[in-house]
Structure 1
Amino acid sequence: MFESLTLAAIPPEDEALRPQVRALAQEVVAALSLEQRARSWMGHDAEFSRKLGAAGLLGLTLPQEYGGGGKGPFARFVVVEELLAAGAPVGAHWIADRQSAPLILNFGTEAQRQSYLPRICHGDALFCIGMSEPGAGSDLAAVRTRAEPVDGGWRLSGQKIWTTGAQYADYMIALVRTSGGPEDRHAGLSQLIVDLSLPGISIRPIKDLTGDEHFNEVFFDGVELPGDSLIGAEGQGWAQVTAELAFERSGPERIYSSLVLLDGWLAHLRKAGRTDDATAALVGGFVARLAALRAMSLACTARLAAGESPVVEASLVKDLGTAFEQDLPLAIADDLASHDEPVDADLTRALTYVTRVAPSFSLRGGTREILRGIIARGLGLR
């Protein structure tokens, strides 16, 4: 569909990271159940994140002068792939490593880079992202949270919702309006670094269908921010957040959310001794889709390695990837229900969790409708 989605291979020097990452991942998941491993995205383990930082596996794409690894996007692909495949808890460092650090590197001041990037690389500065708001849905241009300029800084008022990990985070990078109104759409939007320990900030966890509390409402009541909270130029927030979302949408994150469940089901099939053609076709179909999606994700990674921002291609990977992730638990549930064989309780619990959380896969990072609009524009259809 896109000429830029050409096959790419992981360079040998980046592939060489895999044994080290796999060993650390296996160490942390050894004591976890299948259900706990299925929570990899949301698994919060700050100690494990710091261990990754100590091993030089966070901030891999950042320059060495900021504490990073000085490597390219393929190195990070290997690390993320291994962690998610094992079901390691990545929630603590996830957003800072994937989005906040590249954003600060590309658009932040030198003082911001010196302040935040080394701590992100060590796993000592945890970030969340403030985008969604009540009433705005996935229409980020309709945000109403506002930062008014005051002497020496900004006064922030408003609300964010569905903010993953805010109750654990040290900082939020918030998309806010610094001029104009919602009718101005993209104009007047800026990004600010918000210290979540400041007075006037309230964080309220939201319990989801699984009983977990990963999402949050965050309220800002006249929060006083210093002038150096602004990232990039005032009014350029929309362009910056668009580039940021390319990092969020293009990687293996959007393919592997259900992978631990797939492994658990395959173990069940082997234990049950099922080798019939229908089962083989079902397994083969998902493996083929996974292989194709991985190749597409690697193609996007090659674009990032070339210094490009594959916004449209990343949207395609995310749309197809989350469809795969959502189809998998439904197919596994149908398969288990249609065969009279004992099912391990841990597999049942993992299946229940993934089935309940799967609807969010096509919401986080942009809804399916938003992504397809981006893809349509990229194809010249709108």
Structure 2
Amino acid sequence: MDSFRFDPVELPASAKAFRQEARDFLAGELDRGMFTPHRNSWNTFDAEFSRRCGSAGFIGMHWPKRYGGREVSALDRFVVIEEMLAAGAPMGAHWVADRQSGNNILVNGSEAARQQILPRIVAGECYFAIGMSEPNSGSDLASVGMRATRGDGGWILNGTKIWTSSAHRAHYLIALARTAPLGDDRHAGLTQFIVDLGEGKGVTTRPIYNLYGGHDFNEVFFDDVFVADDMLVGEEGGGWQMVTGELAFERSGPDRLLSTYQLLRQLIDRVAARADERSEVAIGRLISHLTTLRQMSLSVAGMLESGKSPELEASAVKDVGTAFEQEIPEMARLLIDVEPTIDSDDFYTEALAMGVLSAPSFSIRGGTREILRGIIAKGLGLR
């Protein structure tokens, strides 16, 4: 039986310098009016901001220099990401590529894929989508139905992916497909492929609009899509192990704590003007939870830096972090008597409206709460 291990992590001395570098960059951006802080910055698409981040060396920071990276530690990168999210910087264009897809290619991709793709990610000019979820499968990735069959010099993909964030703007998508018939081991016979969405041959993207009318999600159809052999990720049939490792990056970072952070900052400012005991207790509770969650997230970053695979701890961070992110707009509604309005000129009112409308999706993306708690229970030997 495994157990949770959130060992304390001490940031390296270099992290202080990188934090200041990020703060100076962001201060310059804000002074020049290059972006307006967003309430969910890692989901906000701004191609020009991503290019400027690339020029400043803030993408693929811990990747080898031969691919454009700076070869810094994952903990150095952690503090930069914290600063970006806390500032509400629009990181959505390069987010998935920097957070997980590029790491997957670096570790498991062919050398041709690394040379072709990684430098473009580092430059902030190449965006990725995640091709895991499918219709009628929910978060049960082992039930993947997309098929990949051998072709001349590569593979032919057929199937559908859903809830695919930014697929309509991404250059590539890493798709999980079944390359062998489903057997007793549901996790066997799954393989990952890098699909070039720019070629457009056999790929059709259909938008799924959010509750507030935004277009982030998509349904993506693959009809005899060809993928060359050097765009296979890892070994044939090794997709499940890579997916679970990839999800540790997706579920544990500071983005799982800070989706409604801009609303929290605004709430604190509003409450401070007329604080009472009730509001002080509520804000103190939120801040203490945020501090604890940050330490948990940082601990997972330390595990990843040391080469471990903390799927159990990452699932816990995502589950508890999601609950925290969803609690902020609810607490704001209780503390401040304001009608949420999505088209309001007042930042707080608009941020509250967006928080209320988007918060239900937080416990879906990256794995539903039921799936995460199942992983945790199994890891703890409770089932």
Shorter-chain TM-score range: over 0.9
Q: Report the counterpart of residue 352 of structure 2 in structure 1.
A: 351
**Cα 1:3/1:373, change in 2 over 3 Å:** closer
Contact 1:142/1:182, CA 8 A, preserved across alignment: no
* 1:210-289 correspondence runs (5 A): 210-270=212-272, 273-289=273-289
User: TM-score, normalization: structure 2?
Assistant: 0.94
**Cα 1:182/1:21, change in 2 over 3 Å:** farther
Q: Report the counterpart of residue 108 of structure 1 in structure 2.
A: 109
Please give the per-residue CA displacement for 1:198-229, whole angstroms capped at 9, x wherever unaligned. Answer: 31111112110111101111111111221222
Please give the per-residue CA displacement for 1:331-368, whole angstroms capped at 9, x wherever unaligned. Answer: 101111399xxx98321111000111011111111111
**Cα 1:210/1:22, change in 2 over 3 Å:** farther
The number of residues matched between the two structures is 376
Contact 2:6/2:313, CA 8 A, preserved across alignment: yes
Q: Is 1:72 the equivalent of 2:76?
A: no
Secondary structure of 1:16's match?
helix
Contact 2:110/2:231, CA 8 A, preserved across alignment: no
Contact 2:179/2:191, CA 8 A, preserved across alignment: yes
Secondary structure of 1:50's match?
helix
* 1:1-382 correspondence runs (5 A): 2=3, 4-28=5-29, 31=33, 37-181=38-182, 185-198=186-199, 199-270=201-272, 273-337=273-337, 345-382=346-383
Residue 129 of structure 1 aligns with an amino acid whose one-letter code is I
Secondary structure of 2:158's match?
strand
Aligned-pair distance for 1:176? Answer: 0.8
Contact 1:29/1:37, CA 8 A, preserved across alignment: no
Contact 1:33/1:346, CA 8 A, preserved across alignment: no
Contact 1:53/1:121, CA 8 A, preserved across alignment: yes
Contact 2:18/2:76, CA 8 A, preserved across alignment: yes
Secondary structure of 2:195's match?
strand
Contact 1:136/1:142, CA 8 A, preserved across alignment: yes
Aligned-pair distance for 1:376? Answer: 0.9
**Cα 1:230/1:13, change in 2 over 3 Å:** same
Secondary structure of 2:286's match?
helix
Residue 318 of structure 1 aligns with an amino acid whose one-letter code is K
User: TM-score, normalization: structure 1?
Assistant: 0.94
Please give the per-residue CA displacement for 1:268-308, whole angstroms capped at 9, x wherever unaligned. Answer: 223xx222111110100000000000011111111111111
Aligned-pair distance for 1:66? Answer: 1.5
Secondary structure of 1:17's match?
helix
Residue 176 of structure 1 aligns with an amino acid whose one-letter code is A
Secondary structure of 1:37's match?
coil
Aligned-pair distance for 1:39? Answer: 3.1
Secondary structure of 1:148's match?
strand
Aligned-pair distance for 1:27? Answer: 4.3
Using the alignment, how far apart are the partners of 2:25 and 2:359 within structure 1? 27
Using the alignment, how far apart are the partners of 1:104 and 1:85 within structure 2? 28
Worse overlay, 17-26 or 95-104: 17-26
Residue 332 of structure 1 aligns with an amino acid whose one-letter code is A
Please give the per-residue CA displacement for 1:171-207, whole angstroms capped at 9, x wherever unaligned. Answer: 0001111111387521111000000023111111211
Please give the per-residue CA displacement for 1:40-69, whole angstroms capped at 9, x wherever unaligned. Answer: 122111111111111111101111121111
Using the alignment, how far apart are the partners of 2:97 and 2:147 within structure 1? 23
Using the alignment, how far apart are the partners of 1:85 and 1:116 within structure 2? 29
Secondary structure of 1:219's match?
strand
**Cα 1:91/1:183, change in 2 over 3 Å:** farther
Contact 1:98/1:248, CA 8 A, preserved across alignment: yes
Using the alignment, how far apart are the partners of 2:159 and 2:311 within structure 1? 29
Using the alignment, how far apart are the partners of 1:294 and 1:26 within structure 2? 23
Contact 2:39/2:259, CA 8 A, preserved across alignment: yes
Aligned-pair distance for 1:266? Answer: 1.3
Residue 253 of structure 1 aligns with an amino acid whose one-letter code is D
**Cα 1:103/1:334, change in 2 over 3 Å:** same
Using the alignment, how far apart are the partners of 2:126 and 2:282 within structure 1? 43
Contact 1:144/1:182, CA 8 A, preserved across alignment: no
Worse overlay, 283-292 or 121-130: 121-130
Aligned-pair distance for 1:24? Answer: 2.8
**Cα 1:327/1:164, change in 2 over 3 Å:** same
Please give the per-residue CA displacement for 1:237-282, whole angstroms capped at 9, x wherever unaligned. Answer: 0000000001111111110111000011112223xx2221111101
Secondary structure of 2:298's match?
helix
Contact 1:18/1:79, CA 8 A, preserved across alignment: yes
Secondary structure of 1:260's match?
helix
